[in-house]
Structure 1
Amino acid sequence: MRTVDSRRRFLRTLLSGATTLAIAPALLRSEAAFAGDPARFAEGLRQHPWLAGWKSVGAESLGPTTVELDGRLPDGFAGTLYRNGPAWTERAGFRYEHWFDGDGMVHGWRFGKGRVTHQARMVATPKFTREQQAGRFLYPTAGTSIPDMQPVRNNDDANVANTSVTVIDGRLFALNEAGSAFELDPDQLTTIGPVTWRPDLAALPFSAHPLVDRDGSSWNFGSLSLMGGNGLLVWHIGADGRLVSADVLETPVHGYLHSFAMTERHLVFALIPFRYAEGRGAFFERLRFQPDQALRIAVVDKNAPSEARWFEADFAAVYHFADAHERSGRIVVRAVQHADLDAARSPMRAAMNGRAETHGGNGTLRELVLDLRNGRARWEDTGIAGIEFPVFDARTPLDRAARLYAPAQTNESTVPYFNAVASFDLARGRQQVHRYGRDVLVEEHLFVPRPGGRRPDEGWLVGTLLDGARGRSGIAVLDAQRVGDGPLAQAWLPYAFPLGFHGHFAAV
């Protein structure tokens, strides 16, 4: 095991000289332009109004706008839903082709006195600020090659801060896969700037899916493969927002991962095997998943974050994990697996190009069983398909599977996206579904615990919606134990904005 001093020396070496700029040949290198056509997208939008979910915004802020709630908020439900997603996707006749490329816009939905107030603001990263001034895209992105690309000094010169948000000790952070967390003012949503948890860790990746432990601290990772090497940087941030530790977990192979799972004792990282296609281009343009190779899984003891026990399982393309529990020498992790590898590499690519093709990216829920006694791993089917973005109540006992909640796609949908929210209690074989309507696009619904509640799943779901046909975005609150009954309260704004990815509910 490395000592603290030797680990810090390793990090200093990683950050020295050309290594810091190794992001260019990995995640951020671009050469010739292969962009979408804004005119073609505009024509598609006229024919298919639901494509508003992938339309570019043209203003740096929205709102604040206050609307009345239809229905009644339950007693105890109060706070702000923060959400993040790619929103600025067009400049000077050039349109991004990959959904992950758009600059981030953070939304705040504040509940109170039978009303909800919405406001949103672009994250003022160096990339966004400089491109606003220039009037065109300047810097490399993850999935679209950019013409006349400008050089970058480090990850944060190209950070779009567009994937998720988290709140730690009252501080709001916008998160992306490959760069720093950007701190925002939680009330005004103005950008404070990138966070440096320790001087020698400046601009290193702080990924978009931190997990909150039961002591209030947060675990996260940064993929060093996005900087041209192998390894994971394992972050541990205290409940007070201060760095507890940052350890390098060396990996035997290089693989892609977007999120991870956690039990009471362990962190679980799954490395999806991939290779780079020949030639030049952006990261996702060149990335090719390798289904003929095994998925490599690291099980990391929280008391020794630089060490791992490695497992192998059949290949799986996974972006998002649900819960994980540990019992009788086994860890069971549930994840959404995608069989269509092209759709996994570039989700909703057709929509980004203004086409209304069938969406092949919705996943199936599977269980990854890791036997700590014999070192074997296997996948098991659950029979659940057509979902993504699963969440659960973190108060669920740590030795059992949790009830899951997720957007779902039902046969009644007229658009190639989710149109319902569902709950799944696999242990009891129970499922509930609420369908919002044939023309409504449904985003991630977060679980909000009932204050003072002691039983798992005693609380609510809060999630956002898009009704493209009526040109409006909305929000709904449901009873988590009675999802099939539909919203307790719901509201629609007089305007629409692009779909996002992930959020965080800050209760008051």
Structure 2
Amino acid sequence: MDRRRFLRNLLSGTAALAVAPSLLQQALAADPARFAAGLRRHPWMAGWQQVSAEALGPAVARIEGRVPDGFAGTLYRNGPAWFERDGFRYEHWFDGDGMVHGWRFGDGVVTHRGRMVQTPKFMRERAAGRFNTLAAGTTIPDAGPIRNNDDANAANTSVVAIGGRLFALCEAGSAFELDPDQLDTLGPVAWRPDLQALPFSAHPMQDRDGSWWNFGAMAMMGGAGLLVWHIGADAALRGAHMVPMREPGYLHAFAMTDRHLVFVLTPFDHVQAGSFFESLRFAPSRGCQVVVVDKDAPDNVRWFEVDYAMAYHFGDAFERDGEIVVRAVHHTDPDEAISPMREAMQGHAGAATPARLAELRLGLRSGRARWEKVFDGTLEFPLFDARTPGDRGARLYMPVAEGERTAPYFNAVAMVDLQRDVRDVHRYGRDILAEEHVFVPRPGSRDPDDGWLVGTLLDPVQGRSGIAVLDAKRVGDGPLAQAWLPYTFPLGFHGHFAAA
């Protein structure tokens, strides 16, 4: 690793953040009263309503059906949950401070516990009684200076358990470690002293040997370069390598094959207008740069160029006959992609987010790349069984919009097998909001897709949040079990299941 390169990138990012508060313009925030009025008209907006307390539970959920034998452990979930202070409401979903949830299954009981991540940002603003920190998508009036990205870290996007330790993750900051039982915040993780406060993104991926790969986008700090992390199954750092970038590009997640890491950089221009996302202008007139990194030799990098696409999330990736195939959710509206569910955050209904499932094909011999559309729809958050062999596509599991529904959000979960052109869907109902569904292998089984899906739900009509367990091979049959709480909390983004 080139320490000088690390310092150069870190300093450039810190300088950009230090001057940002002086450039902030008048706040363009949502109005809490307007949101409250919208919630009365549209109960589904409970998905974007602030939590009632910093801690929820522990509470026992009421089970419908039967939790399958062998299904035991905890589904951890993370998402924005604190949106308002002192009459000021964030207008961007990604700004809310993170709350981590633990749904524990065991001995025929399902329990829930939720805790706000006690980041320096959250504690500082709680003491001040107002938002006073640079946010990702909302301009904050009179925001104070920050030393580095962790001073503004909301820890609100994802969560992962590695080596018995639990980490709350966001896009641009350090991982924050939590107690896996009580969910108390232990603090940011540096992994190594010279890597302190460098970004550890929200979508690490586990390799077949149990180790984990992740990245940090230095552009999120105003710098350049792509930091590639490798973390062992014991949660110890194996390596950190900086890949130089040809030009800035936005990325939220990545894809992985048995041999390679694949990063798709969406081109953008920066026009200073307040927060990061307010200043971001995607550039559909330019193509995406694709970086393919050799896991065994991170200095061995291949570059591809492909037509413009904006993808937050990727499904599986595999290699066959000299070609890498990557599945991605391709957003068709660049402006909407910058601020998903913006209307809901502001208290009024809007259209559902359009997206398409697409395949990115990278010719390792030809050096050419192309997108192939699979189908259009309202879909996101694709997951899969990582045990699928590396030379074929996996079945994808994702929330989708299906049939009549009251909210411009997902109300169903689907299994999509692109190899066999098979799609199996369970629709929860017109009023239910369905979130990401995580695949859980059946204990003792090695067959791909032999296991369950576990996903969280919001029933705003009956005022309850819940969780469902389905047979991954029979998604259309519906839940084997559902468990419901006597309260609701806002929708989150991503989760991780830790087996008992």
Calculate the TM-score normalised by the size of structure 1. Answer: 0.96
- For 1:145-167, what per-residue CA distance to the aligned partner results, in whole angstroms no more than 9, with x for missing partners? 00110110111100000000001
Superposed structure 1 runs of 4+ greater than 6 Å apart: 26-29
SS in 1 for 2:220: helix
Mapped to 2, the partners of 1:31 and 1:101 lie a distance apart of: 17
Q: Could you tell me which residue of structure 2 aligns to residue 197 of structure 1? A: 191
* Pair 488,505 (structure 1): closer, same or farther in 2 beyond 3 Å: same
Q: Number of aligned residue pairs: give it.
A: 500
Mapped to 1, the partners of 2:423 and 2:483 lie a distance apart of: 26
Residues 110-121 of structure 1 correspond to what in structure 2 (within 5 A)?
110-121=104-115
* Pair 489,465 (structure 1): closer, same or farther in 2 beyond 3 Å: same
Q: Could you tell me which residue of structure 1 aligns to residue 440 of structure 2? A: 448
Contact 1:26–1:227 (8 Å) recurs in 2 = no
- For 1:91-129, what per-residue CA distance to the aligned partner results, in whole angstroms no more than 9, with x for missing partners? 000000000000000000001222210010000000000
Which of these residues, 296, 299, 310, is aligned with residue 303 of structure 1? 296
| Displacement of 1:412 | 1.2
Mapped to 2, the partners of 1:307 and 1:454 lie a distance apart of: 32
Residues 450-465 of structure 1 correspond to what in structure 2 (within 5 A)?
450-465=442-457
Which of these residues, 293, 299, 312, is aligned with residue 305 of structure 2? 312
Contact 2:98–2:157 (8 Å) recurs in 1 = yes
| Displacement of 1:19 | 4.7
Contact 2:10–2:223 (8 Å) recurs in 1 = no
Calculate the TM-score normalised by the size of structure 2. Answer: 0.98
Contact 1:29–1:282 (8 Å) recurs in 2 = no
Mapped to 1, the partners of 2:220 and 2:17 lie a distance apart of: 6
Mapped to 2, the partners of 1:152 and 1:28 lie a distance apart of: 12
Contact 2:9–2:223 (8 Å) recurs in 1 = no
Q: Which amino acid aligns with 1:339?
A: T
1:11 matches 2:6: yes
SS in 2 for 1:117: strand
Mapped to 1, the partners of 2:376 and 2:443 lie a distance apart of: 31
Q: Could you tell me which residue of structure 2 aligns to residue 400 of structure 1? A: 392
Q: Could you tell me which residue of structure 2 aligns to residue 288 of structure 1? A: 281
SS in 1 for 2:210: coil
| Displacement of 1:25 | 5.6
Mapped to 1, the partners of 2:21 and 2:87 lie a distance apart of: 24
Unaligned runs of at least 5 residues, structure 2: none
* Pair 58,134 (structure 1): closer, same or farther in 2 beyond 3 Å: farther
Unaligned runs of at least 5 residues, structure 1: none
Mapped to 2, the partners of 1:238 and 1:453 lie a distance apart of: 24
Mapped to 2, the partners of 1:193 and 1:260 lie a distance apart of: 26
Q: Which amino acid aligns with 1:481?
A: K
| Overall identity of the aligned pairs, in % | 66
SS in 1 for 2:312: strand
Contact 1:65–1:119 (8 Å) recurs in 2 = yes
Which of these residues, 20, 39, 61, is aligned with residue 45 of structure 1? 39
| Displacement of 1:362 | 3.7
Segment drifting more, 303-312 vs 39-48: 303-312
* Pair 78,42 (structure 1): closer, same or farther in 2 beyond 3 Å: same
Q: Could you tell me which residue of structure 1 aligns to residue 131 of structure 2? A: 137
Contact 2:101–2:114 (8 Å) recurs in 1 = yes
Q: Could you tell me which residue of structure 2 aligns to residue 219 of structure 1? A: 213
SS in 2 for 1:391: coil
Q: Could you tell me which residue of structure 1 aligns to residue 63 of structure 2? A: 69
Mapped to 2, the partners of 1:28 and 1:481 lie a distance apart of: 55
SS in 1 for 2:480: strand
SS in 2 for 1:318: coil
1:208 matches 2:223: no
Contact 1:27–1:226 (8 Å) recurs in 2 = no
Mapped to 2, the partners of 1:429 and 1:227 lie a distance apart of: 42
SS in 1 for 2:465: strand
- Alignment RMSD: 1.4
Q: Could you tell me which residue of structure 1 aligns to residue 419 of structure 2? A: 427
SS in 2 for 1:487: coil
Contact 1:28–1:282 (8 Å) recurs in 2 = no
